[in-house]
Structure 1
């Protein structure tokens, strides 16, 4: 007999469930992942209009129940998780119904260029990405052309 792993809420998910039922639910949910994610989540939770969850980098986002339908999500990404892990998390959140997912790599200086021109490369490949950048992924409803609520 094989035991199936039961899905659970992510850290701080129970509190989010309660807040979503309140008269003043958060309009933004921050998912902290990577270095110092627990401290960062607690810092975000001081703002009454948002809520923060923790995504342990050592676990799969598929193991959690994400209560993010129709919510805007900010992934607060610090050192540790790979780009592949972040993209997997984005996909899971979009499938769970997130309205939009924004990925913010914390260690990046956004004042530095994200792309560099390399004249030695073929004409259609001369702009080369040289650092991570903030990325915004629209919800699946919008991506498919359905903008109805």
Structure 2
């Protein structure tokens, strides 16, 4: 037989809400939820996903935003449509490389906040914004190092 009297759920227990009317509890919960939503808005984050955002430095010739979600890394670059014909776009596991923008021999490197896969990335240009989307790579290669005594 289980010793039910050792659990904190006794008939004699005092509820933390005892003495509160339903209206007081409802007001407390509404205040709690509004404070939580205000905190999420102040942090600039959605309560449903975690993201980090990097912006282009002021010395950059074009503006871009880099952010990540749980599964992908996004780079949004503001470009004029006439730049697309000359643009060469490459990426490594942690960088995006743009060549020939805005001038013919220019080369710009954007660091990514997480490692990305070699395959599966795509680029979409719409309304003056080039959006690059890369799936994250969750394959971390670890190598054990041995410690030698002298």
Query: TM-score w.r.t. structure 2 length?
Result: 0.25
**TM-score normalized by the length of structure 1:** 0.25
More helix by share: 1
Which has more strand, going by share of residues?
2
